[in-house]
Amino acid sequence: MYRIGQLAKLADVTPDTIRFYEKQQMMDHEVRTEGGFRLYSDSDLQRLKFIRHGRKLGFTLEAIRELLSIRVDPEHHTCQESKTIVQKRLSEVEAMLDELQHMQQSLKRLNDACCGTAHSSVYCSILEALEKGAVATIDKTTD
Q: How many CA atoms lie within 13 A of 129 on its CB side?
A: 12
Q: Rounded to the nearest 5°, which phi and psi values hold at 30?
A: -95, -20
pLDDT computed for residue 36 by the predictor: 80
Question: Per-residue pLDDT tens for 77-117?
Answer: 999 999 999 999 999 999 999 999 999 988 888 888 777 77
CA dist 32 and 35 (Å) reads: 8
Count of residues for the chain?
143
Question: Per-residue pLDDT tens for 23-51?
Answer: 999 988 777 777 888 899 999 999 999 99
How many beta carbons lie within 10 A of that of residue 82, not counting itself?
Answer: 15
